[in-house]
Amino acid sequence: MIAKHLLLIRRLVQTLSVFILVFIIWNTRYPLSGFINPEFYFLIDPFAMFITAVAERVFLPGLIYSALLLVITFAIGRAFCGWICPLGALLDFLSWSQQSVMKLFRKKTMEHDPLSLRHIKYAILAGVFIFALFGIQLAWFLDPITIFVRTFSFNVHPFITGVIDGGFMRLLKITDYPIWLESMYNTLREGFLSLSTPKFFHTGIILVVLAVIMMLSLVKRRFWCRYLCPLGATLALTAKGTFFQRDAGGCKKNCGVCMNLCRMNAIRSDNSYIREECILCLDCVVLCPNDKTSFFFKKLWGSEQHTGGQSKHPGSEQNIWVRANPVFSRAQFILMLHGLILTSLGATAPRHTRNKPQRPGTESNLRPPGALPEEEFVQRCIRCGNCMKVCPTNVLQPSSIGKGLGGTWSPVLDTRRGYCEYQCNLCGKVCPTDAIRELTIKHKQQFKIGLGVFNKKICLPYAKGENCIVCEEHCPVPDKAIKIRTSMVRGKLIKLPYVDTDLCIGCAICELKCPTAPDKGIVVIKVRDA
């Protein structure tokens, strides 16, 4: 009965954890009034924090929080994977749906002895670590929390808000805008919905990454978690010595129920199990037909003996525990060693073209206010999407793959879509790795993102002798970074705008509001790293 209650608690905790994360992501928007900072889930992620710290050669505050998770994992095992991880919960739901369909056709899931494929995730972790030693941070692409949050922020949330917003607009139009319905719509926009539906680039590719992980789960339950997840490998290395262990010593029938139930393929045919692969889902305990499976805290004293993979029941006089088989066979070790050699050779290749001069107006020019210098920024950023999600003007967009693998999906300013709001400093508040430093409003208003530059062949006053001061009118700087001087152009007095380089911070509202199209009379370029 206790085990059944624990199983129910696990399911509730797993569901609640996903809902809390979704709630946090949903409320990651201006003015950021949520009760939990969206950076929290990333701070407790030891894989993302450790790899980023190694790649950047810097101590991150998140290392302290993630170390606590490692301590907990050492004490009780990989409970995070089975109880908290949002991607793991999504895969469990998919597997449950699949099994429900299979039951209609009277098909049962059959598992073999644990496959050596599980060692792939350790090779991936080692490869990512080697790249980090060479200053190349790849955690942004492989971290499960980042994958989940990025997909929800860039795909799911905009889709849901877009559908609801579009539905209300059609309903309002059909019903001729009744006051009560319009009031309901405005209330939703101020609370549940965003004031505007954000749109992002490269959402298709980002969605494909998650779709592939989910499709693999249809081949084998939790395929990603079993064989590929580097966060799981990080926690598994810690869980090898956990004190909280499974005991099936009283089972004599070896019916194989627990082996086939195990979603991580951690249980062998002789009823022993691979300690570090267990995610404490408790299915083997609750669904054991003979009630012979339990978990217990191993004593720190007493003898240790080999008993063919099974232990005496914890209620016996001696607490005997079985040492698992060697982690790697000779062939597996040689195979993994070859993989690491190839990975390290790849790490010595040229990093990417981040130091090449960039053409003004391209998407990779401008970084958010408070961003570290380019080389440091690229290595520190884990592409979680928090800064882009919280941006009130949707100016922050994921950069394209064409700009180099190292900078892919890192935030850049798309100045044709939006501008950096003068009174906003939220991007620095939600960055879990301090790739974007947290600035006060005062310091943010002095941070130079870039510099406005006039194209006199396009700007109306210069090119056509027409008065236009739209850029000056929209400039948010109190003393106006765009100033006006009067001069003779084509025989008449014209107000000519020019940029005060000392005052301009490159917020790009001037470029967005410039009436010329498709090319703009003023563009913001990146002049230096801050």
Give the residue with greater pLDDT, 401 vs 339. Answer: 401
Q: What is the pLDDT of residues 457-512, one digit of tens each?
A: 999 999 999 999 999 999 999 999 999 999 888 778 999 999 999 999 999 999 99
d(CA 314, CA 114): 25
Closest by Cα among 364, 411, 371, 370 to 391: 411
Task: Determine how many CB atoms are found less than 10 A away from the CB of residue 133.
Answer: 12
Which tokens go with 359? 């053409």
Mean pLDDT of 358-385: 80
Whether residue 61 is preceded by a cis peptide bond, meaning omega within 30 degrees of 0, is no
Residue 496 and residue 460 in contact, taking contact as beta carbons nearer than 8 Å: no
Look at residue 362 and tell me whether its pLDDT is greater than 70: no
Q: In angstroms, rounded to a whole number, what is the distance separating the alpha carbons of residues 419 and 396?
A: 8
One-character DSSP codes across 251-283: --S--SHHHHH-TT--B-TTS-B-GGG-----H
In this predicted structure, the answer to whether residue 308 has a pLDDT above a threshold of 90 is no
Residue 85: left if φ>0, alpha if ψ -120 to 50, beta else—which one?
Answer: beta
Taking the alpha carbons at both ends of the chain, their separation in whole angstroms is 61
Contact 522, 504 (CB under 8 A): no
Q: What are phi and psi of 492, to 5 degrees?
A: -145, 155
> How high is the pLDDT of residue 349?
38
**pLDDT beyond 70 at 247:** yes
185 pLDDT more than 80: yes
Distance CA 225, CA 88 (A): 7
Q: What is the mean pLDDT of the chain?
A: 84
Lowest-confidence pick of 101-110, 408-417, 422-431 = 101-110
Q: What CA–CA distance (Å, rounded) separates 321 from 78?
A: 19
Question: Which of the four pLDDT bands, split at 50, 70 and 90, describes residue 286?
Answer: confident
Question: Model's pTM, two decimal places?
Answer: 0.83
Domain ranges of the chain: 2-150+205-297, 448-530
The pair phi, psi for residue 397, each rounded to 5°, is -135, 155
Nearest to 507 by CA among 459, 442, 446: 446
Please compute the mean of the pLDDT values over residues 144-164 and round it to a whole number: 93
**Residue predicted with more confidence, 200 or 528:** 200
Considering the domain 448-530 in this protein, what is its CATH number? Answer: 3.30.70.20
Whole-number percent of the chain with pLDDT over 90: 57
Please report which helix (H) or strand (E) contains residue 105, including its range: none
Query: Residue 253 has what pLDDT?
Result: 73
Q: CA–CA distance from 460 to each of 223, 457, 465, 489 (Å)?
A: 59, 8, 6, 11
Residue 524 confidence (pLDDT) above 70: yes
Structure tokens at 121: 């995730």
| pLDDT score, position 402 | 58
Q: Are 452 and 504 in contact (CB under 8 A)?
A: yes
Confidence of residue 194 (pLDDT cuts 50, 70, 90): low
Q: Are 400 and 8 in contact (CB under 8 A)?
A: no
Q: What is the pLDDT of residues 83-126, one digit of tens each?
A: 999 999 999 999 888 776 666 655 666 778 888 999 999 999 99
> Is residue 344 predicted with pLDDT exceeding 80?
no
Higher confidence at residue 364 or residue 323? 364
- Residue 123's pLDDT is 97
Q: How far apart are CA 501 and CA 485, in angstroms?
A: 15
- Asked whether the beta carbons of 370 and 427 are under 8 A apart, the reply is yes
Amino acid 516: pLDDT:
94
Residues above pLDDT 70, as percent of the chain: 83
Q: Are 451 and 527 in contact (CB under 8 A)?
A: yes
Buried residues in 73-97 as b, exposed as e (16+ CB within 10 A): bbebbbbbbbbbbbbbbbbbebbee
Give the helix/strand (H/E) hosting 23. helix 2-26
**Is 60 exceeded by the pLDDT of residue 33?**
yes
- Tokens of residue 447, six digits: 């941070």
pLDDT at 36: 83
Please check the confidence at residue 294 and state whether its pLDDT lies above 80: yes
Dihedral sign of CA atoms 451, 457, 463, 466 in order: negative
pLDDT band at 256 (very low <50, low <70, confident <90, very high): confident
pLDDT tens digits for range 57-75: 999 999 999 999 999 999 9
At residue 413, the pLDDT reads: 95
Taking CB atoms within 8 Å and a gap of at least 24, the contacts of 353-357 are 353/404, 354/378, 354/404, 354/406, 354/407
Return the minimum-mean-pLDDT range out of 116-130, 291-305, 398-412: 291-305
Alpha carbons 251 and 271: distance in angstroms, whole number: 8
